[in-house]
Amino acid sequence: MAQACLKDGQTEQAYSVLTRELERVRDTGVRYYEAELHRIKGEVLLRRSAASQKEAETCFHRAIDLSHDQGAKSLELRAIMSLSDLWRKQGKKAEARQMLQEIYRWFTEGFNTADLKEAKELFKERLGASPSHIN
């Protein structure tokens, strides 16, 4: 729901949905998608205000840590892509490339999935790496 709101430009509604869902995670202890909720919260924060970059970065790191601890590599990839894109915009291309390269190389199949295609595009087009860095 939050992603749909975000795509529709309804950042405040997206933020509200995320706040409720993160409260539900705390109340129920069901943490399966907690990492993704933090990642999306970071994306929402970036859309709300450019001044929210630090808070968004914290959300992305939280998402990376949670997904890593759960062994949820696809969710970890998404969180790393979000952080990498933020770092790219901040001029930290080398750090972004390194982090994205490490998670991308973990995958041995599924390269036709949307997430891995997007990661490859991010790596090549926006981070300026040659294909040899990721193949």
Closest C-alpha to 127, from 78, 86, 88, 79: 88
Dump pLDDT digits (tens) for 86-98. Answer: 999 999 999 999 9
Report, as an integer, the average pLDDT of 37-54. 93
The whole-number average pLDDT for the span 104-123 is 91
List pLDDT tens digits, range 2-23: 889 888 989 999 999 999 999 9
> What three-state secondary structure class fits 49?
coil
Give residue 132's pLDDT. 45
Domain with 105 in it: what CATH number?
1.25.40.10
Task: Please say if the pLDDT value at position 134 is more than 70.
Answer: no
pLDDT at 50: 81
How many domains does the chain fold into? 1
Angle between helices 34-48 and 11-28 (to 10 degrees): 150
Domain containing residue 15: 2-133
**What tens digit of pLDDT does each residue of 55-87 get?**
999 999 999 999 999 999 999 999 999 999 999
The pLDDT > 90 percentage for the chain reads 75
